[in-house]
Amino acid sequence: MSRFVDRFESHQIHDSLNTIDSIINELLERENMQPDALLELEQARHVLNYLKLMLDNCDPTLIPPTVLNNLNDNMAKRIISELTNFRSTNNNVYLVNVNNHLDSHIPTISNLVVPHLPTDIDGIKQSIVTFKRLASRSIRETESEFKRVESIKNELEQGFSQISTTVEDQRSRLEAILEDFQQDFSDAQKSRDEDYDKRTKEISILFDNLINQKVNDAEVVIKEIEGRGQELEEYFSVQVSEYISKLDDYKSQAERIMNAISNTSMVGRYQEVANQEKDSFEFWRRFTTGSMIALCFFALINFFFLPIGTEVIWADIGKRLFVAATLATLAGFASRQAKIHLEASRKYRKIELELTSLNPYLLELEDDKRKEILAEMVGKFFGKDEVENPPNDTRENPLHDLQNKTD
């Protein structure tokens, strides 16, 4: 077999046509297909069968590869895509596109070199048979749909006639019922109006008598309540005065207790802070002592144990001075911190002693004088900035100033 025959028989166009044929057969087997869709599919299958017939009967050596490539790329692949879209959406537009593609390539198909055979006549006969089959199928479906619609129409007419008869019967019945109800209601309403007028008069008389009786009773009760109210007012006035006096005493006692509790709380807090400052002082004092001992030890080592030559080595001297200066600075800093914490400890300890001695002193004073002194204490003890006192600074004594004011 020559390579010309091989390139024709192994070309992709044959597989593409088989794929198209299988998709069309699958679609034709579907139920409830629209007649327009069936016509489009039959037309497409007719043209594709004609193309397959031409390819089967043509001389492979007279068909160039470019013609086959054109049919495969520009026709077969596009038709497969359009048929796939129709299978998913059932939109006839895709079938129209299929036949449009086929129409554009019919001239190419007709130009294939194929001898005329009796099979051409068979293809025409097959198309006629297919058209007749589709026409008869459409006629049968139309007749069946017409009969179904006519049957539904008859059923609706019968139902409408029955409903009309029923509505007329119910209307007559309702009119009779409404007439009876209207007559009964009119008679009952007349009777109710007469009873209402009679009862209204009786109730009006009873209500007037009852009002007069209740007014008389109320006047008697009001007089009794006024006399009793005066007695209760005098009694409760005495009781309230006694209770107010007792509450004032309780208030004074509570204020003294709260003052003692608050002073005790403040004293405890100042004592805690003073103890913390004392511990910090002890720590920095020990640190200062250790730094001084280290400095002395370093000086002794340099004096007794390190040899001193005739030549002066400034690098060694600089190192020793740097170490000595570092130890001296550390000792000075620790000494300064110890002094600060010692002064703070003395300050808070002094405030603790002052607050402890304040409470017995205030108990002997009058309430107004005690409140005045407590107000002065707020300005003396609270809201003041922490300022480090100079060594020779004489700090103010809040309790001493308050004692002078009371004197």
Per-residue pLDDT 10s for the chain (407 aa) are 568 878 888 888 888 888 988 888 888 888 777 888 888 888 888 888 888 888 888 878 888 888 888 888 888 888 888 888 988 888 888 888 888 888 888 888 877 766 555 555 565 456 555 656 666 677 777 888 888 888 888 888 887 888 888 888 888 888 888 888 888 888 888 888 888 888 888 888 888 888 888 888 888 888 888 778 788 888 888 878 887 877 777 766 666 666 556 556 666 677 777 778 888 888 888 888 887 888 788 777 776 655 555 455 667 667 777 777 887 787 788 788 888 888 888 887 787 777 776 666 666 666 677 667 766 766 666 555 554 444 444 444 444 454 454 44
Q: Which two tokens stand for residue 325?
A: 């200066």
Q: What is the DSSP code (8-state) at residue 63?
A: S
DSSP states of 179-206: HHHHHHHHHHHHHHHHHHHHHHHHHHHH
| CA-atom Rg of the chain in angstroms | 62
CB of 82 closer than 8 Å to CB of 95: yes
- Helix residue ranges, H only, 90-118: 92-110
> What backbone torsions phi and psi does residue 63 show, to the nearest 5 degrees?
-105, 115
Grouping H, G, I as helix, E, B as strand and the rest as coil, residue 16 is: helix
User: What residue ranges do the domains of the chain occupy?
Assistant: 3-117, 252-406
CB contact set of 307 (below 8 Å; sequence gap of 6+)? none
Does the reported pTM lie above 0.75? Answer: no
**How long is the chain?**
407
How far apart are alpha carbons 135 and 142 in whole angstroms? 10
Residue of 66, 63, 64, 55 lying closest to 18 (CA atoms): 55
